Amino acid sequence: MRVLLMGRLRKLMSDNRPKPIVIAANQNSVVGQLRLKAKRLNQLNKIFQSTLPESLTSHITLANIKDDLLVAFAESPIWATNMRYEIPGVLNKLKQLDNFPKINEIKLIQSRTTDARVTSINTEKLEMISESTSNLLTKHASTLKNKKLQNALHRLAKNSKQI
């Protein structure tokens, strides 16, 4: 099917002229087929997410289903490992669902997101260092030529408290 869709897309775009939006809205067009597949995968992802433990739902996403193989994106290797422990239970839940394709295997791949997520830092839980450690860090930073490392040590040294 993928080869067929790509062939249609090449044919559609071969004259390099703009196409009316009506063509994209047509369910028989390449764009229409891609839109339908994306909509179906989104529906299946919601069902798949409902079978996951709550701790994994924001870190594991359905990527594709082909034959009896479900491919899922894991946000990081840590979440992939956590998911691997849950695969037998998730497979059992999925097999019991009538509205989900029959799956015999789940494959995990690490998501290749390019945007870095910034997490908030809870300042109440920051570990403080002693004043003597702070002094040692500051003293050592002044001997370094690497400015980035020097700045990092100075930032660490600011997290001191008097004991």
How far apart (Å, rounded) are the C-alpha atoms in residues 116 and 110? 14
Tell me the whole-structure pTM to 2 decimals: 0.55
pLDDT value for 120? 46
Enumerate the H helices of 15-130 as residue ranges.
Answer: 21-25, 30-51, 77-95
How far apart (Å, rounded) are the C-alpha atoms in residues 103 and 123? 45
Domain shared by 79 and 157, yes or no: no
136 domain-assigned: yes
How far apart (Å, rounded) are the C-alpha atoms in residues 71 and 68? 10
Enumerate the H helices of 52-143 as residue ranges.
Answer: 77-95, 131-141
CATH number at residue 64: 3.30.300
**Residue range 22-77, pLDDT digits in tens:** 665 677 777 778 888 889 999 999 999 999 999 999 999 999 999 999 999 999 98
15 domain-assigned: no
Domain shared by 105 and 75, yes or no: yes
Domain shared by 84 and 151, yes or no: no
Number of domains the chain is built from = 2
8 domain-assigned: no
Query: Which residue range is the domain that position 147 belongs to?
Result: 126-161
